Amino acid sequence: GNSVTQMEGPVTLSEEAFLTINCTYTATGYPSLFWYVQYPGEGLQLLLKATKADDKGSNKGFEATYRKETTSFHLEKGSVQVSDSAVYFCALNFGNEKLTFGTGTRLTIIP
Amino acid sequence: DAGVTQSPTHLIKTRGQQVTLRCSPKSGHDTVSWYQQALGQGPQFIFQYYEEEERQRGNFPDRFSGHQFPNYSSELNVNALLLGDSALYLCASRDRGTDTQYFGPGTRLTVL
């Protein structure tokens, strides 16, 4: 079946550091890929998405590129802020089917 | 434009009881999915409703059931609650144009 493997957390960085959160997937075919973010006590917010190979999703300074050859969708940000502290989830789906999530990576940014 | 809304925000029940959670999708969205998120875990798919019918189902027992109304809102019912049902229950509605699911804030269920 489909699955998503995320970099284990927690991740702690200083403000303005470079961020990478790794995500790889296993799927039959070419799914759409997503990053969702969950702030403390809240639901999930869509951060970015990509629907085909070599697509780059971007939002709020975050980027991720759909790499078919390595089945990866790593999340990056050049300079993190304290307000980026949250849990980040990588996910995949096919069309209107269910989302399959990774276990999440907790990110803490220290001033 | 209101996003996905869920009620109640928090709920405390005891083992063996039954619970109903409610969800209203974003305007223009007609497909609703429910997910269970245990503490420290990623969300797990429960089921999806479209045109008032259950279209897909995850690996959850029959104690979990749902309903979708003509206005596309949905309910999740859980019978015979177990301690392990304690979780954040998330509802998502689908934007048909972009095939993207948007989540509500969730209902935190605690079973004592």
In which band, very low, low, confident or very high, does the pLDDT at A96 lie, cut at 50, 70 and 90? confident
Across all residues in chain A, what is the average pLDDT? 94
Report chain B (112 residues): mean pLDDT per 10 consecutive residues: 90 98 95 95 95 95 97 97 97 89 95 98
> What CA–CA distance (Å, rounded) separates A53 from A31?
9
**CB < 8 Å to A99, chain B:** 33, 35, 43, 45, 92, 101
> How far apart are the C-alpha atoms of A30 and A86, rounded to whole Å?
28
User: What's the alpha-carbon Rg for chain A, to the nearest Å?
Assistant: 13
Strand order in the sheet with A62-65: A19-21, A75-77, A62-65, A56-59
Sheet architecture: strand order including B5-7? B5-7, B19-24, B74-78, B64-68
pLDDT tens digit sequence for A30-50: 899 999 999 988 889 999 999
**What count of Cα atoms within 13 Å lies in the side-chain half-sphere of residue B69?**
9
Tell me how long chain A is: 111
Question: What confidence tier does A95 reach under pLDDT thresholds 50, 70, 90?
Answer: confident
Provide DSSP, B8-64. Answer: -SEEEE-TT--EEEEEEPPTT--EEEEEEE-TTS--EEEEEEETTEEEEE-S--TTE
Question: Which stretch of DSSP H or E encloses residue A110?
Answer: strand A105-110
pLDDT in tens, A59-74: 999 999 999 999 999 9
pLDDT digits (tens, 9 = 90+) for A2-35: 999 998 889 999 999 999 999 999 998 889 999 9
Report pLDDT for A41: 83
Nearest CB to B105 within list A4, A32, A42: A42
Give the model's pLDDT for residue B1: 64
Q: Which of A30, A59, A99 to mutate to test the interface with B (most CBs of B within 10 A)?
A: A99
Q: How far is B18 from chain A (nearest CA, A)?
A: 23
CA B38, A35, A61 angle in degrees (round to 5)?
130
